[in-house]
Amino acid sequence: MNRSPVSISLSSYGADLVRQHGQGYFIPLVAAAGASCIEWREELLTGEHPAELARSAREHGLDSVYSSPLELWQPGRCEPAPELSATLQRAREFGARQLKVSLGHFNEHHDLRCLASLLFRQPLQLLVENDQTTHGGRIEPFQRFFSAVEALNLPLRMTFDIGNWQWQEQSAVNAARVLGRHVGYVHCKAVRQRVDGKLVAIPPGSPELHQWEQLLRHMTQGITRAVEYPLQGNDLVQVTAGQVELLARLGQSRLENANA
């Protein structure tokens, strides 16, 4: 089966459903929908056995990303978060090739050489995401962080969450122009404002898909893009497959033009 460069974040199925069934329940569903990757969510774990999930994902032909809400950098501490080493180990136990964390409170005093040493001992690609916070969800801290990363030639990449820039009222287009070359994984979600003023993730419509097409032009061709918006319906395989197809088509015109 040909799989698309699409990942499914298991949070998309809703916290209650995921905790009810356990994350292993969704492995055959994600595979049947044609995705190439499954994103485990640390905050939704309910005592699953990592080795069993890792083996099942491999048997279904899926790569894995491990998502942790951990903030990489904390105030008043030069070294990375003390939980990072254990989180890296846990991600490896889940069969993940990549660990996704939030940036946290990065500043010029943080010790990237210490981080490099830790990653050398526990080889796993670290993906640093823009979250919905002021300190870890704006363009400027990521510019400073990746300038420091480049200066030391560290093997770190970014998870570019398209929707999260709206929490800080910043342009995803501007973020992609500035940070696109650092991106290794893309979280896709459209965002709307509810009547109570709260922002919530929703599936994309045509305007969002058109914008996402433009954003991906600033990133590596064929980059894995993840569904991180609600997947709901009576037939979750069908619902998921439809969204996998939508995201897989992003960037196809660019690829076709390159091969023309």
CA 166 to chain centre: 16
Residue 44's alpha-carbon distances to 96, 139, 199, in angstroms, are 16, 28, 21
**What is residue 61's predicted lDDT score, i.e. its pLDDT?**
97
CA–CA distance, 243 with 233 (Å, rounded to integer): 12
**What is residue 259's predicted lDDT score, i.e. its pLDDT?**
44
| 49's tokens | 């056995």
**What is residue 155's predicted lDDT score, i.e. its pLDDT?**
85
**What is residue 3's predicted lDDT score, i.e. its pLDDT?**
81
Predicted structure pTM score? 0.95
**What is residue 255's predicted lDDT score, i.e. its pLDDT?**
47
Residue 92's alpha-carbon distances to 54, 112, 125, 149, in angstroms, are 9, 22, 10, 23
Q: What is the DSSP string of 88-107?
A: HHHHHHTT-SEEEEEEES--
Tens digits of pLDDT across the chain (260 residues): 668 899 999 999 999 999 999 999 999 999 999 999 999 999 999 999 999 999 999 999 999 999 999 999 999 899 999 999 999 999 999 999 999 999 999 998 899 999 999 988 888 999 999 999 999 999 999 999 999 999 998 889 999 999 999 999 999 999 999 999 999 999 999 999 998 999 999 999 999 999 999 999 999 999 999 999 999 999 999 999 999 999 999 977 554 444 44
**What is residue 260's predicted lDDT score, i.e. its pLDDT?**
44
